[in-house]
């Protein structure tokens, strides 16, 4: 599990995090959601000790991260950053195999089983065909998928994913979120940062909404992804509708335009699965 208590941090005297606290249970997929500049990435860096918080504590799997060595922390948590550009042209299989390093005491202690785990992680994301390609020759979306495979191969009880689908097309976005659900189902704790309210509403067990460096709301998606909460962080830009029993966040201007025209909202009364199918067919 993950327990974040009263994390505070600022840059040059300017507060960025003002006492952030929340918990994520074992086997839960939690969405960290909020607008640009709300402190999400800074919070990740404080939790992972890339930055030294001015105050507060972080427990992962019952252990205080401040008391952990770097090597032990790497066995507790895997991290997928928004973007990563290595200085050397490693092959994709080598990048994913690096996820096994915390379990080996060194990259050159790789055994056959570690190589199998790395290839299994690539297969899980259906990118095994990239294994022998240079990582730095891939597109941004492909690199993001490789970093996800590396995190899976690292096999930690906690995963931190910073905008894991931001560079992906729609099909791969849905694939990554479903894989995250499957990983959580195996008992792992996942904190995934996202700007998309629909993604966290559709896939997450719980949501932590941050705004201006503090927690605005926390709880189940059906309780948290609401017009009241969205209005606090996005003013009146969004509206929340139920479409075939599925919660959907829409631009308010789109909803109002259709209402003024006296037409039904897009997707209303149609199969949600069918809508995804049509969207895929048009890309």
Q: HEC string of the chain?
A: CEEEEEEEEEECCEEEEEEEEEEECCCCEEEEECCCCCCHHHHHHHHCCCCCCCEEEEEECCEEHHHCCHHHHHHHEEEECCCCCCCCCCEHHHHHHHHHHHHCCCHHHCCHHHHHHHHHHHHHCCCHHHCCCEHHHCCHHHHHHHHHHHHHHHCCCEEEEECCCCCCCHHHHHHHHHHHHHHHHCCCEEEEEECCHHHHHHHCCEEEEEECCEEEEEECHHHHCCHHHHHHHHCCCEEEEEECCEEEEEEHHHHHHHHHCCCCCCCCCCCHHHHHHHHHHCC
Same domain, 151 and 242: no
Same domain, 179 and 260: no
What is the gyration radius of the CA atoms in the chain, in angstroms?
20
| Last residue in a domain, options 235, 251, 267 | 235
Same domain, 267 and 136: no
Same domain, 73 and 168: yes
| Last residue in a domain, options 195, 215, 235 | 235
Same domain, 149 and 74: yes
147-171 average pLDDT score: 94
Same domain, 252 and 145: no
77-104 average pLDDT score: 88
User: 130 is in which domain, residue-wise?
Assistant: 2-235
pLDDT of 71 above 60: yes
> What's the number of CA atoms in the CB half-sphere (13 Å) around residue 21?
6
Same domain, 224 and 243: no
Q: What CATH number did the domain enclosing 53 receive?
A: 3.40.50.300
More confident residue, 272 or 4: 4
2-28 average pLDDT score: 95
pLDDT of 216 above 60: yes
| Average pLDDT value over all residues in the chain | 88
CA pair distance 118, 4, nearest whole angstrom: 31
Same domain, 230 and 261: no
83-112 average pLDDT score: 83
Task: Count other Cβ atoms within 10 Å, centred on residue 65.
Answer: 20
Same domain, 268 and 160: no
Number of domains making up the chain: 2
pLDDT tens string 21-53: 999 999 999 999 998 888 999 999 999 999 999
Same domain, 157 and 96: yes
Predicted local distance difference test score (pLDDT) of residue 109: 73
Same domain, 111 and 171: yes
Same domain, 165 and 116: yes
């Amino acid at each position: 599990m993950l327990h974040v208590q009263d994390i505070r941090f600022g840059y040059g005297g300017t507060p960025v995090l003002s006492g952030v606290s929340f918990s994520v249970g074992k086997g839960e997929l939690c969405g960290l959601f909020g607008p640009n500049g709300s402190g999400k990435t800074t919070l990740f860096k404080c939790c992972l000790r890339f930055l030294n918080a001015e105050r507060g504590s972080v427990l992962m799997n019952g252990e205080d991260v401040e008391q952990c060595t770097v090597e032990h922390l790497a066995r507790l948590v895997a991290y997928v950053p928004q973007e990563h550009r290595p200085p050397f042209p490693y092959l994709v299989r080598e990048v994913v195999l690096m996820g096994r390093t915390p379990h080996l005491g060194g990259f050159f202690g790789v055994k056959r089983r570690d190589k199998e785990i790395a290839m299994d992680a690539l297969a899980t994301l259906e990118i095994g065909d990239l294994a022998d390609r240079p990582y730095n020759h891939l597109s941004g979306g492909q690199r993001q998928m490789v970093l996800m495979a590396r995190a899976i191969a690292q096999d930690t009880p906690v995963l931190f994913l910073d905008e894991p689908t931001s560079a992906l097309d729609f099909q791969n976005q849905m694939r990554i979120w479903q894989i995250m659900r499957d990983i959580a189902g195996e008992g792992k704790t996942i904190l995934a940062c996202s700007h998309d309210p629909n993604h966290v509403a559709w896939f997450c067990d719980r949501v932590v909404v941050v705004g201006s460096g503090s927690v605005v709301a926390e709880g189940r998606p059906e309780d948290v992804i609401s017009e009241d909460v969205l209005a606090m962080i996005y003013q009146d830009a969004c509206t929340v509708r139920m479409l075939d029993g599925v919660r959907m966040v829409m631009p308010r201007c789109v909803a109002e335009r259709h209402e003024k025209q006296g037409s039904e909202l897009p997707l209303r009364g149609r199969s949600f699965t069918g809508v995804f199918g049509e969207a895929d067919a048009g890309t």
